[in-house]
Amino acid sequence: MRELSPRSPVGVILIGIVLVYAGLLIGAPLAAMVQGAFGKGIEPFMKALTQPDVLHAFQVTVSLAAGSVLVNTVFGLIVAWVLVRHRFPGRRIVDALVDAPFVFSPVIAGYVLIVLFGRGGWFTPQNFQIAFAFPGMLLGTIFVSLPFVIREVQPVLEALTSEQEEAAYTLGASAWSTFRRIVIPQIWRGLLYGIVLTLARSLGEFGAVVVAGGAVENVTESATVYVFRASLDRNPIGAYSVSIVLCMISVIILTAMSLLRRRAVR
């Protein structure tokens, strides 16, 4: 689509409104975080990021994001394939439930995990703790980031024609070989875009992990939970420093998403 320069006062006003809106909601908070993190120099910033509890919080966050991306990539592909290529009773209900994390509060999701897997819960496993431990945090993160791979891959699969797959089957290719050599090359951009969105959502999750994990320092504390605790402990430099790192990661992810989108359009 060709870009057009504003040719009327209304267009200029609308652009100004967008710039002011973005500046107030994005620019001002970023400026405040940078000022808070580097207001006393680079040394306090680096010292805050090298604290043992901060390093552990980042380790938990990376582990949660990696586990969520892995699980949702595999099962997201399976769910998208089944919803597009198969017809079965309850398909519309399953398709609607995929979007549940968009309207379901992450805090409630974490509480449900406690009800299900906490002490005296419905499915309390023996000799394996889920609630108030890393597995519960991982389940919560997987839940809140579940729709992205499915919703990005599903329309691409629906747009595919079956001629190439049928030709591969005719030549003796197996179902897995056909999927790997015919389908994946046609859906990889949508799949990669879904993975990027899943990663971004997992890195920034707070509600589900703080409830399901219990926010135990140096045990079940992620980076976002650390920011919350640091703000309560009157440790603004620690909160600002970790927030800056998370924002930098978000900017990198947003840049990758923009590049993927432009390449897909071309």
The SS3 call for residue 116 is: helix
pLDDT for the residue 19: 86
Per-residue pLDDT of the chain (266 residues; tens, 9 = 90+): 455 666 678 778 888 898 888 888 888 888 888 888 888 888 988 999 999 999 999 999 999 999 999 999 999 999 999 999 889 999 999 999 999 999 889 999 999 999 998 887 778 777 788 889 999 999 999 999 999 999 999 999 988 877 787 787 787 878 788 888 888 888 888 898 899 999 999 999 999 999 999 988 889 999 999 999 999 988 899 999 999 999 888 888 888 878 877 776 66
Spatial CB neighbours of 224, under 8 Å, sequence gap ≥ 6: 61, 204, 205, 206, 209, 210, 246
**Phi-psi domain of 104 (left: phi exceeds 0; alpha: psi -120 through 50; beta: other):** beta
| pTM above threshold 0.85 | yes
pLDDT for the residue 266: 66
- Quick one: fold of 42-265? MetI-like fold (1.10.3720)
DSSP string, 160-225: --SHHHHHHHHTT--HHHHIIIIIHHHHHHHHHHHHHHHHHHHHT--HHHHHHH---TTTS--HHH
pLDDT for the residue 3: 57
Identify the residue whose tokens are 């909601």: 25
Residue 217, CA distances (Å) to 12, 51, 137, 161 in order: 50, 12, 14, 52
